[in-house]
A and B are shown apart, each in its own frame.
Chain A
């Protein structure tokens, strides 16, 4: 029953994407917008293939993912550290929560000018943008998760003789892990936004750089193609990498049932 309904949804989703593809192609064929502004799906595919063959696409994807790996690791470590302090100490929480919420309202691309001023055109600036975009979200989710830990876990830990210094590793972080993974997932998405924005301006390789180069060359097919690639990788990591980890943790904690 369940697998059949899942298959049905799968078919419907596939049809939906085919439909988008057809509408896109049809709009192109009608020719209302000139083709140098509005490329057809085939032109986009062809351009991506050329970029692949010229050895631009793969190194760019690699470069962007490497920057994300470094930047996001730093952001996660900083976010978890601050989140833990905020979750454990109410005064720290009051002070930092409003600050981090404020920083979060800033569009991620708004970090690019200041990073240019501080770091110039180096990769450090891109790490800076990624960290500033994603660390506040991780910190807020971590502290919220810690504040909402059912008191019974802490009571149980204390009555079982847990020392205060081993509480974070043995009880507080594990108990908050479901919210922490949700926070990491959100932080990754925000970091991805910030990272690609920063690459637009300050790099010589990367997905953001290819976008920028496409604009410089008036190559709409390249711009659209790189946008599609960026969406695909964002989705892949968000849905499959973080999504699967989140799902497993929620199952282990008994927060959701195994699906089909």
Chain B
């Protein structure tokens, strides 16, 4: 297979949710001297972008999104050591700290969000569930997080999101981090009311928002 065929194959493996095929082609890409970063950018990521578009137009649903993510992440397990061995690094889209707010113990949606962020090129720090506002601050400062993603699945725990925003304000670091909110009962008006920066109705919306905010922040830097 030539370079173009391998890259097209990687894209198609993502579109076909073919984990083993994706792994095989990834090894083939490296064996044939293809740059691992090229395999990501020109192969796997192209497939992921198409999958993301199909999800937004409801051509596919969350299970397929997760299968495509699996193909990507399994291929990355092969590519990452090769990237390191070359002394290179995959350009990070940004750093995200995510967690379910204090009092809430729901995790599946937040974990899926974390997975999609990773696929999209974010370095993700998942703090788990029932996370105290102070922990969000601690991790955001430690990692220089661009994004702080808050999840809540209950109307009774949503005030925990406001608390996190207020903690960041009180510490004087509110403008250094973009705070995104999501979860079943969370709405756009609630997001505005608590002065968070953005609300994602779905995990994929949240990823796109995160990417947009990071781009905007970078563009605004002197």
The judgment on whether A and B are partners is no
A-side residues, CB < 8 A to B, are none
Where the two chains meet, the residues of B that have a C-beta atom closer than 8 Å to any C-beta of A are none
